[in-house]
Structure 1
Amino acid sequence: MTTRPLDGTTATASAAEQARLDAALRDAAWKDDVPRATALVARGADVNAKDETQQSAYLVATSEGRLALLRLALAHGARVDDKDSWNGTGLIRAAERGHALVVGELLRAGIDRDHVNRIGYQAIHEAVWLGRDTSTYVDTVRVLVAGGVQLDRPSRDEGLTPLQMSRERGFDRLTGALVTATTAEPVKEPDAALLSAAGRGDADGVALALRAGADIEARDGRRRTALLLAATGDHVDAARVLVSMGADPDALDDRHDTPWLVTGVTGSVAMLEALLPAGPDLTIRNRYGGVSVIPASERGHVAYVRRVVQTGIDVNHVNDLGWTALLEAVILGDGGERHQQIVRLLLGAGADPSIADKDGVTALEHARDKGYAAIARIIEKA
């Protein structure tokens, strides 16, 4: 145990070191340096410590859309309702910038949904009045709707509701979302409404069902969740609302499909990107024992394979048939340009051409047997 001298020098040194740690953490937050921030928090840096402008690492994460840093801060004691110099919460800051994923994270953390800042705005006001008529802000408004924020309170100075603000700004897309949110009939069976809306790609309907209390992991008769239905139909807007509100990308249905696994079948890069913030388990296997890169390679989804190999997925995973993605691209592909590109992508990502199937036949041997000369040459050069 350290004994503090009467002159207080030990305490002063300790406070100075804490200040340095806290300043370094804020700097890491501004730079979105998650590894450094993690190390600093482990050393005792305070995610709530503010500088002279009332910025903390937690508040920086909210305004700058730093989702990983926000999760780090929330896991280490972030004061979720802390205020900035404008007496604004992190929710207001995130909504102003159109950070829908951060908005959803904060709502699920229990932040004050309807706090009014120093200029008389709630988060929903800032998303509309200070936002733009883009997908980013439409997502943000839908997530705020799903999270149950007030929709009819006028701003202090303008005296405008969010819908009136949207019309004043000439924002057709935001206006459409807000009209639906404020005029739709009450949702009577939220779980069923959620599944139906996700299945038909109705993102506004998804938001309203969640607002009405739907279980985000509700299942249909085939054990499919709303997110799985959205992924199957490639309804990306609906999926983004669901992911922002915490939907599970790994929820298995009765066919052992998950939202993430389905992307390998559909080949949707947009859906892949929508699901990645949810942290899908890349090792979950489909009913054939394969990971998502395998069906994508078989089906010739070039853009998907190009993106998914950047996630760290195991390109040498062997499914229950004894095939890797490379083997499937050759055995079940057509030998054409798409599959040639996929073979190049897989090899470039570390696919091992020496891995043979259950009969001991390699991808190169299969290519030769099928007369896929171009693919055979690609593999020979690997």
Structure 2
Amino acid sequence: MSENAIRINERIRENAENIASALENHMLTAFAPDARKELRLFSAGEAADLLGISTSFLRKLHMEEKIEEVLTSAGGRRSYSADDLEAIRSYLDRAAKVPGTYRKGRRPGDKVQVLSFLNFKGGSGKTTSTVHTAQRLALKGYRVLCVDIDPQASLTTLFGYRPEVDFTDVGTIYDAIRYDDPLPLSAVIQKTFFTGIDLAPASLMLQEFEHETPRALMENVQPPFFSRMAATLAEVEGDYDLILFDCPPQLGYLTMSALCASTGLFITVVPNMLDVASMSQFLQMSADLLDVVSDAGATMNYDFMRFLINRLEPNDGPQQQVVAFLRNLFGKEVMTASMLKSTAISDAGLTHQTIYEVERSQFNRNTYDRAVDSLNDVNDEVESLIQAAWGR
């Protein structure tokens, strides 16, 4: 049999098995010995930034023994774990004249903020935006649930899970939203290595929801697909300040269910005209489909919608023209801050890490600092939108 005559299903399966084996070895090498990730420690400067205080004030708290001592090097440099940050934040808020000064999560009467990151095209930075937003806000004290509704499960993988191994039969968000005998969402939520973040993971099984929904619509299974996710989240929403959806790069039933459960929407867009043209089609299709589910009883009230510029190269003239075009077209709905294209973010991804997980010393410091500053600006703007939605 010639190479051209090989059975394609067998060749594809062989390739899939080879990739799975190589990824398994890569994970074991990157995170030996148990292939599970751990959150790094943070410098005094990083800790002060995340706590919303100055480094001098942080030192003063230590000198006056108002907070517990932390890991200190022989040279006197302090390193803070996420648990250390949480303990210091608790002290600061107790000592503050106005409760909630340092704990900026939900207060009585505040609704949980449910944010969707989506676009029609793959490669527009949806997963990167979701995970960095989740991590930045968790480090600032918010209780976060990430919900991965992309069958490719990239977000799940970034949190150190191997969907093809860890969730072969059960344990993903699919099991909580499926039409036949669904599980409680609390039964599938996983703790992550990242303090403050829980995960409802994904796997290829999620694709079954797309296949099963037409039958469920014909049989009038309740609740319908567009309100199924919101009903599922209702069980656990009291445990979180924020719920973040990483949506698949398609406008299917999964994406629609997330849109109908959301209070805020971020449309990620790479600033080139092909992506903008694709986004135009996506927006038109979204509007048409949302009309249908709205007529069927879905709630369509959002606190905000924003376009998030991703993979921006500041010195690229054509990109700057596209950004100006979008700002002129959409005004304040385009976020002020943009996420820069950065080799630091790409290089961190080689070991399934984010820029908030890696050590600054592993990179060119200027490159690392530019990436972190860009992400912080974006995520602090997201935080300001959340606070405004809570009336602050």
What range describes the TM-score normalised by the shorter chain of this pair? under 0.3
TM-score norm. by structure 2 comes to: 0.25
More helix by share: 1
Mark the structure with the bigger radius of gyration. 1
Higher relative contact order (CA 8 A, sep 6+): 2
TM-score norm. by structure 1 comes to: 0.26
More strand by share: 2
